[in-house]
Structure 1
Amino acid sequence: MSSNDTQGLTIEQLGIRIANTVERWMPSPFLFAILLTYIVFFAALLLGELGIIEQAEGGTAGPLGLIEHWFDGFWDFLAFAMQMTVILMTGFALAYHPKANAILVRLAHIPSTPPQAVVLVAVFSMAIAWIHWGFSLILGAIFAREMGKVAHKKGIDVHYPLLAVSGYMGLGLTWHWGLSGSGPLLLTDSGSVGDGTVFDMLPNDGIPITETIAHGYGITLTILSIIFASLVLYAITPSGKQARDITEYIPESELFSQEADGGEEDGREESKAKTPAERIDNSLILGGIIGITGFTYVFYMLITDGLGAWDLNVVNFGFLMAGLLIWTNPSAYREKFGEAATAAAGIILLFPFFAGIQGIMSGSGLATYIAEVLIDASTAETFPVIAWLVAAITNAFIPSGGGQWLVLGPPLMEAAEGLGVEFGHAAMAYAVGDAHTNLVNPFWAIPLLAITRIKAREMFGYAIVMLIALTPFLAVMLYLLPYEALALF
């Protein structure tokens, strides 16, 4: 056995052991939300009894007061939960259009070696995630599967579990730095940051994406991270006997049966419906006109108001209209949204609990206390690294970037204010920590596991390798990369 084979086997065995342990002991994300509620409740109760933190003015002291804060906060972020749901569902609907699949098949024929196949899937996933995380979540998984199929046909010995990791890299690295990143986009509306002292610090019109997503700092960090991650993936790609073909996970007869049947239907045959009601439901004209109208208006807002118009509502409206424009058939588009509803169930259930946790933290004074601890532990130079680490650790409990923002946003922004760190700089550092540790959190990988037919323990070994490799790189980038010097606007 060669040294390369030994290295690949060691990485794989270590990864499988870690992933098996996680799979056996890690509770569901919903249970984590419940556990975190208890942790925050008792932490606030203890610190309050010790006099370290103070209840909000006019609030009830003791356990009853904390329960009141929990209840008051529980439904504060219904609009935000709906925004996150729509992001996921519009991405799902776009990714499953047959034309999108046809493009992926053509791209899958480009690579001629295993490392090229792995890197192409990863670069595609990371680039698309910067545009729309919901789109990348589904499309990255589909591309990994299609690449595995094409590689099997061409006789390329590509390791299918690593292809799955590549398809997940968008959610594991770049999504929160991009156009649908929940934390930076919530800053565009100062009323969405959450209750607490940070609310009064932000300008009335919030922080535009020119100071976060479209800032040279975020763009530079994204490009450099994609390059570095691609180099690591290229280096660790096994080949030969170490590579496991897609047919070890999905039967060959099942893989290629869709091609024999003509592929997935796009629902346009429903336009032949006989009744007037069915003709209206499947009207290509009605769907196309409203899609063009909505999509055109998004361009109009961006032309007249510039990038300052880009917020979560514009993101969702634009992709909702784009989906209708691509599908054209309203009935087929509605059916795809029905299929996406299952994937959005976690957001709908978990976000009220995250909002309740944020209510306890703000009302009890715990958020302010955390901000003070961060300030004491940081300098203006080290704060981005500290914010990254705090977000990374919290991601183990709150697997949603938006949900994390409800809890961490106010204290992080308050700490940034105290240290003289730009709000946009702090938000992007937080976003890096949240996205990076998705590589060890199976919550968002559930759709990918279903599409690729990979088990968590079979892919998360390599995901952990990527996490470890990226950690020193991101730490150095966050410490050394200048924010103000990279401003574009």
Structure 2
Amino acid sequence: MFQALTNASVRLVQRYLPDAFIFAIILTFVVFFAGMAVNGKSPLEMVTYWGDGFWGLLSFTMQMVLILVTGHTLASTDLCKRGLRAVASSVKTPGQAIVLTSLISCLAAWINWGFGIVISALLAREIARRVENVDYRLLIASAYGGFVVWHGGLSGSVPLTVATENHSLQDVIGVIPTSETLFSPMNLTIVIAIMIALPLINRMMMPAKEDTVVYKGPGIDHEETAAASDATAMDSPAARLENSRIVSMLVSALGLIFLIAYFVKNGFKLNLDIVNFGFLFLGILLHGTPRKFLDAMNEAVKATAGIVVQFPFYAGIIGMMTGSGLAASISQWFISISTPATFPLFTFWSAGLLNVFIPSGGGQWAVQGPIMMPVATELGVSHAKVAMAIAWGDAWTNLIQPFWALPVLALAGLGARDIMGYCLMMLFVTGAIISLGFLLF
């Protein structure tokens, strides 16, 4: 029965889910008309909200481009290739490939979401090159699926925000330590349950041999090397600088010294800028010469088109959701049907719905936090629990939101419809686990 449901889900998505860019355009018009129908806004007002928000994610867009480019560049170094191959070579069967990829994806995303996205996708691609008859679509879906735990992990933006002095809602909820959010029994139980269930569920979704779609890229005997420099050009001072190991060592030393100083001062506190910084300067160091590093960067940049084009459209959607009050209206409807016992659960569900249109943890907290937290106070519900409900809702529906899958898909060379059928099944299973967690604790 489970295999039949998976096959139906895959067929449904492959037939009806358009390209990720078209999906973003469809969401744009859904929100545009919903803002007029639900909140009584005029077409011109909705267009204004859309245009005002369109460039609101420029900084984040650049961060995501860099996480893809620097991660890809670092992974193309000889040292990282050997590391990925060592892990991939331990896998002998398609079932082992799916389970290992799922588990590493969960663990890496729990440590840091940006790190998890890149490492799991690159590992999956390396495994696909070595393991025969593993379904490449499911393997990449497994690499992405572990992302669902990120907001319950060490880089979760909502729990880290409420644990920071002078956050925007401190007057309402105070400062909530991570012992009550990330390291609470409820959150740890949910994380562990997903890390156990997801590899097993993904293993169960393996298609029959005749339906398996295998990896079509370069095999294990193919080496992706930087273009060799023209030997005759090495006589010029410019060429010698481009191929100088000393230049790479000096500039990477600056970066590594900064990283050491940062971690000494802040502890193991990762954010997207630090991950990108580390990937960048490790890539420079491990490629050996500036020329090899630049060649690898040029190759990696080719995969960033989807991010550059689509993220502004999602910023426009966020602008319409917040400017029109539509996001607040959705939250208020869930509040109206809640009781103290069900309020965290309904907060989780409402956050999951809103995340389809506002795929940003920080953005979602800015919209829902000021609405949900005063209600939690009124109902006598734990602020920490409601904060984690918003966090988990934001993470949960990422499984069917191409916004976050774009870096993984770019690295894998696949489209959204290739993996979303499997991700839809993961959505149902993880949604049941998280919902049960909020009901039991």
Give the alignment's TM-score, normalised by structure 1.
0.71
Q: Which of 123, 139, 144 pairs up with 1:168? A: 144
Q: Which of 64, 70, 74 pairs up with 1:84? A: 64
Superposition map of 1:32-181 within 5 A:
32-49=23-40, 62-111=42-91, 114-152=94-132, 162-171=138-147, 173-178=148-153
Distance (Å, rounded) in 2 between the aligned partners of 1:245 and 1:20:
11
Which consecutive residues of structure 2, in runs of 5 or more, have no partner in the other structure? none
Number of the residue aligned with 1:303: 264
Distance (Å, rounded) in 2 between the aligned partners of 1:44 and 1:295:
48
Whether 2:218 is the aligned partner of 1:249: answer no
Distance (Å, rounded) in 2 between the aligned partners of 1:388 and 1:46:
25
Q: Percent identity?
A: 34
Letter of the structure 1 residue corresponding to residue 24 of structure 2: A
For the structure 1 residues 358 and 393, does the alpha-carbon distance in structure 2 shift closer, same or farther, using more than 3 Å as the test? closer
Number of the residue aligned with 2:236: 275
Report the Cα offset of residue 107 of structure 1: 2.0
For the structure 1 residues 27 and 269, does the alpha-carbon distance in structure 2 shift closer, same or farther, using more than 3 Å as the test? same
Distance (Å, rounded) in 2 between the aligned partners of 1:434 and 1:346:
22
Whether 2:195 is the aligned partner of 1:226: answer yes
Distance (Å, rounded) in 1 between the aligned partners of 2:221 and 2:112:
31
Report the Cα offset of residue 124 of structure 1: 1.8
Whether 2:8 is the aligned partner of 1:17: answer yes
User: What whole-Å deviation, never above 9, does each CA across 1:302-352 have from its counterpart, x for those lacking one?
Assistant: 332446x65443343333333333334333333333333343333322333
Distance (Å, rounded) in 2 between the aligned partners of 1:301 and 1:94:
21
Letter of the structure 2 residue corresponding to residue 84 of structure 1: M
Give the alignment's TM-score, normalised by structure 2.
0.78
Number of the residue aligned with 2:273: 313
For the structure 1 residues 63 and 97, does the alpha-carbon distance in structure 2 shift closer, same or farther, using more than 3 Å as the test? same
Superposition map of 1:331-410 within 5 A:
331-379=291-339, 381-394=341-354, 396=356, 401-402=359-360, 406=363, 408-410=364-366
User: What whole-Å deviation, never above 9, does each CA across 1:27-65 have from its counterpart, x for those lacking one?
Assistant: 33333333333333333334454xxxxxxxxxxx84444
For the structure 1 residues 374 and 311, does the alpha-carbon distance in structure 2 shift closer, same or farther, using more than 3 Å as the test? farther
Instruction: Give 3-state SS (helix, strand or coil) of 1:344's partner.
Output: helix
Letter of the structure 2 residue corresponding to residue 130 of structure 1: W
Instruction: Give 3-state SS (helix, strand or coil) of 1:360's partner.
Output: helix
Distance (Å, rounded) in 2 between the aligned partners of 1:109 and 1:237:
20
Letter of the structure 1 residue corresponding to residue 306 of structure 2: G
Distance (Å, rounded) in 2 between the aligned partners of 1:66 and 1:78:
21
C-alpha contact 1:389 1:433 (8 A) present in aligned 2: yes
Number of the residue aligned with 1:413: 369
Instruction: Give 3-state SS (helix, strand or coil) of 1:255's partner.
Output: coil
Letter of the structure 1 residue corresponding to residue 285 of structure 2: L
Distance (Å, rounded) in 1 between the aligned partners of 2:176 and 2:71:
23
Report the Cα offset of residue 476 of structure 1: 1.2
For the structure 1 residues 106 and 278, does the alpha-carbon distance in structure 2 shift closer, same or farther, using more than 3 Å as the test? same
C-alpha contact 1:158 1:244 (8 A) present in aligned 2: no
Report the Cα offset of residue 413 of structure 1: 0.9
For the structure 1 residues 96 and 393, does the alpha-carbon distance in structure 2 shift closer, same or farther, using more than 3 Å as the test? farther
Which consecutive residues of structure 1, in runs of 5 or more, have no partner in the other structure? 1-6, 50-60, 192-198, 482-489
User: What whole-Å deviation, never above 9, does each CA across 1:376-398 have from its counterpart, x for those lacking one?
Assistant: 23345534433432343345556
Distance (Å, rounded) in 2 between the aligned partners of 1:449 and 1:77:
20
Letter of the structure 2 residue corresponding to residue 73 of structure 1: G
